[in-house]
Amino acid sequence: MRYVIFPIGIISLLALIVFEVPAWPQEKSVTPYGDFCPQCGKYGTCQTIMTGYDSEKALKDYYRKKGLAVEIEKTGKQFIRARIYDNKGMVDTIIFDRGTGRVRSIY
């Protein structure tokens, strides 16, 4: 019995190794986790909190380069919440930190 179970077990393990099984979707995210505004530095080095106009312009410029449109949903003292659209519809909802320049997806 051992001589039958052992080869079947080895073949099963080899089948798991040979066939590629993705652990997450292969599509690329619209907003990479923790991306940043080009007007600020990579490490949250904005000199002052960006004005509402500057932060909206920075977001729209950033996503325009990717071929996407931005709709500002809510503007607060520190954060801006926005929806990102492509030709087919909404693809992401993001929060933009006006103090550090960080862009985070919350969708």
| Residue 7 token pair | 């080869």
Residue pLDDT, tens place only, 17-31: 766 655 545 555 666
Task: Please state the rounded mean pLDDT for residues 47-76.
Answer: 86
| Residue 8 token pair | 């079947």
Tell me how far apart the alpha carbons of residues 63 and 39 are, in angstroms, rounded to a whole number.
14
Query: Structurally, how many domains does the chain consist of?
Result: 1
Please state the pTM of the whole predicted model: 0.63
* Distance linking the first and last C-alpha atoms of the chain: 53
β-partners of residue 58 are: none
| Residue 36 token pair | 């940043």
| DSSP structural state of residue 86 | -
Q: Does 12 map to a domain?
A: no
Give residue 69's identity as a one-letter amino acid code.
A
Q: Does 48 map to a domain?
A: yes
Q: Does 9 map to a domain?
A: no
